[in-house]
Amino acid sequence: MRMLIADDDDYTREGLIDAVEWSRYGIEQIIEARDGAQALRLAAQHKPEIVLTDIRMPKLNGIAFAEKLGEQCPDCKLLFMSGYLDVEYLKSAIRLAAVDYIEKPIKIPDLKEAISKTVKSVQKSRRLTDELSIKKNLQQQKLAQVLIEGTAGREAVLKQCEEAGFPVNAGYVCVIVSGSGLSGGEPELLEELHDFWHRQGVQAVGNVTGKGELGFVLPLNRVKLERTHALAKQLLISHDSLCIATGSRVADLFEVSQSYMHARTALNCFFYEPKARFSSYAEFEGTSAGISPQLFVDFYMLMKSQPRELNGWIEALCDRLVSEERPPREQVYSLFASMGKAMLQEKGALLAGLDGVYEMKDIDTRLSAFYTITELKEYMLAICSSYCAEKAKEAEYSHTVISVMDYVAAHVSKAELDLPEIGQHMFMSSAHLNVLFKQETGMTITQHIRDYRIELAKKLIMNEHYKMNAISELCGFASPSYFAKVFRLCTSVTPVEYRKLKLR
């Protein structure tokens, strides 16, 4: 706590400083002024919490000084001292909300009592200020969440804007701050960045929107969109572990959620370009496409029939995603999780590799810790290598049976796929081929086709991005209704029920 003592008498100032052990009251710094004008300059410079001032001083008397001080330091607590117990001075002191008025010559017990009273007043004001600040921060965080989600009614949103002091008739843009070093420190950084925007004249509101991620809503009533981009880049200079993505400019308060989704699209840049740190939706617009469930079908075919080809396939897939398609990162996470789980499920939910043990229960957690497609690729390649090593240990089927399995995997999407077609492809009697297949596998080719389709469907259903109609078609069922019928016959639940059970 800082205290300013203003008195034109040097002996009085020195005597006051020596008479009291100021640190006992939490006062660490004493600033001295010999007249009202100097006191005003020093107050503007040091922002003291307490001012003890004489009333009769040269250049600017204590009352005039206190009046001007109220403009510079409105929260400062005043103590007046004077040898003239004048009614007018008392009235002025009351008008200026002085905490106390001390008569000269000053008695030390009176001074200590007045100081104690003033310090308590400062502490009370601080508590109130902190409480108001916390309340306002919570209001702003709640408002940011409501605007980003876009689910609240108009009246409720307008009321929250009024409570948070947020402009309602301005353009808006959403900004997402992300980074691998952010996880765990979101609340502290939220407060720091909130202060940064406000220092720049931007009335931003923000909240934690996910692990390692902050979302801000910036009104554009005082700054242009280009200025927010410049400020974001300025922010990155002092925070080298962060990345910032900005959404599109929207005109209406109730379109903020759209800007947020655009900012999420812009986040893809960091997933595919690890060295990039700033991305705007304007630069990224139109470059993102969705992932086709056919990719998993292709993967599953290789996993079942040609596991040695998996690593090369994943390498090529990642190269294509980076250079051409760039689908939303959430869909890439989901695809890779499905692939990893498929391999682990095939091997009893656990694979041991050179780099460690891979377990089904860890897949989602491990993948969510990766921020780039390169990290995802390396993790998936490690699982593939372990999977291939385990597959190599298994007793292999005959060339004939493997050829049948390969053909089924490659043509599973064909609804007309049946035993005669496979026999014709193999240049063998269908009946004889079926006997050979059953001798080695314990099931007929028709049963194998059905089981393969159901197992593939299960894997696809686990990915919530894929629609049931598309899954039905990819798995070779003649219609969605027939798919549901066969699936229920094999699993006792419908495809929709299966998804709910597994994703619960």
Whether 112 is in a domain gets the answer: no
Cβ atoms of 460 and 296 within 8 Å: the answer is yes
Point out the domain boundary residue: 393, 419, 439: 393
Question: Which tops the pLDDT comparison, 250 or 370?
Answer: 250
Instruction: Kindly state whether residue 27 falls inside one of the protein's structural domains.
Output: yes
pLDDT of 96 strictly over 70: no
Show the tokens assigned to 282: 């304007």
Residue 86, domain CATH = 3.40.50.2300
Q: For position 354, what pLDDT does the model report?
A: 46
Query: Of 370 and 356, which is predicted with more confidence?
Result: 370
CATH at 250 = 3.30.70.270
Residue 132: what pLDDT?
63
The torsion defined by the Cα of 38, 44, 48 and 54, in degrees rounded to 10, comes to 30
Q: Which of 46, 65, 49, 47 is nearest to 6 (CA)?
A: 65
- Looking only at the bridges linking them, the beta strands covering 77-82 and 29-33 are unpaired
Q: How far apart are CA 470 and CA 447, in angstroms?
A: 22
Average the pLDDT over 221-231 and give the result: 88
**Both 65 and 172 in a single domain?**
no
pLDDT of residue 152: 84
Give the model's pLDDT for residue 154. Answer: 87
Helices (H) and strands (E) in the chain, counts: 22, 12
Q: What CA–CA distance (Å, rounded) separates 449 from 471?
A: 16
Domain boundary among the residues 351, 375, 393 is at 393
Examine the domain organization and report whether 144 and 236 are in the same domain: yes
Contact 299, 313 (CB under 8 A): yes
Residue 360 shares a structural domain with residue 464: no
In the chain, the amino acid numbered 9 is D
Q: What is the pLDDT of residue 350?
A: 57
208: β partners: 214
- In this structure, are residues 27 and 3 in contact, taking their beta carbons and an 8 Å threshold? yes
Q: Render pLDDT for 433-475 as a digit per residue (tens, 0 to 9).
A: 999 999 988 999 999 999 999 989 988 898 888 899 999 999 9
Residue with token string 């998804």: 499
Q: Are residues 39 and 12 in the same domain?
A: yes
Note down the domain range covering 441. Answer: 399-503
Asked if the structure places residue 65 within a domain, the reply is yes
User: How many structural domains is the chain composed of?
Assistant: 4
Top-ranked range on mean pLDDT: pick from 39-48, 138-147, 487-496: 487-496
Averaged pLDDT for residues 87-100: 62
Own/partner pairs, 14-22, CB within 8 angstroms, 24+ separation: 16/52, 16/106, 16/111, 19/108, 19/111, 20/108, 20/111, 20/112, 20/115
Q: Which of 122-126, 212-216, 324-328, 375-379 has the highest mean pLDDT?
A: 375-379
Strands 205-210 and 356-359, sheet pairing:
unpaired
Claim: this prediction has a pTM higher than 0.75: no
Residue 92 has pLDDT above 80, yes or no: no
Residue 124 lies inside a defined structural domain of this protein: no
Beta bridge partners of 5: 32, 52
Token pair 């007929």: residue = 444
Least confident of 43-47, 135-139, 290-294: 135-139
Query: Same structural domain for residues 43 and 99?
Result: yes
Q: Are residues 149 and 274 in the same domain?
A: yes
Q: What is the pLDDT of residues 374-433, one digit of tens each?
A: 999 998 998 888 888 777 766 678 889 988 988 998 899 999 999 999 999 999 999 999
Q: What is the DSSP letter of 87?
A: H
Per-residue pLDDT at 219: 93
DSSP 8-class letter at 478: S
Q: Assess if residue 298 is contained within a domain.
A: yes
Which pLDDT does position 475 carry in this prediction? 93
pLDDT score recorded for residue 449: 94
Q: 190 and 100 in one domain?
A: no
Q: With respect to residue 353, please indicate whether it lies within any of the assigned structural domains.
A: yes
Residues 440 and 488 in one domain: yes
The DSSP bridge pattern shows strands 100-103 and 77-82 to be parallel
Q: Are 143 and 262 within one domain? A: yes
What's the chain's length in residues? 504
Q: Is residue 122 part of a domain?
A: no
Portion of the chain with pLDDT greater than 90, in percent? 30
- CATH of residue 475: 1.10.10.60
- Asked whether residue 352 falls in the same domain as residue 416, the answer is no
7 and 44, same domain (yes or no)? yes
Which of the residue ranges 105-119, 217-231, 283-297 would you say has the lowest mean pLDDT?
Answer: 283-297
- Say whether both 220 and 261 belong to one domain: yes
CB atoms within 10 A of CB 108: 11
Q: What is the pLDDT of residue 459?
A: 86
Are β-strands 172-178 and 213-219 bridged in parallel, bridged antiparallel, or unpaired? antiparallel
Question: Given its phi and psi angles, is residue 349 left (phi above 0), alpha (psi -120 to 50 degrees) or beta?
Answer: left
The percent of residues above 70 in pLDDT, for the chain, comes to 89
Helix (H) or strand (E) holding 113: helix 108-149
- Which residue, of 364, 393, 422, is where some domain finishes? 393
Does residue 289 form part of some domain? Answer: no
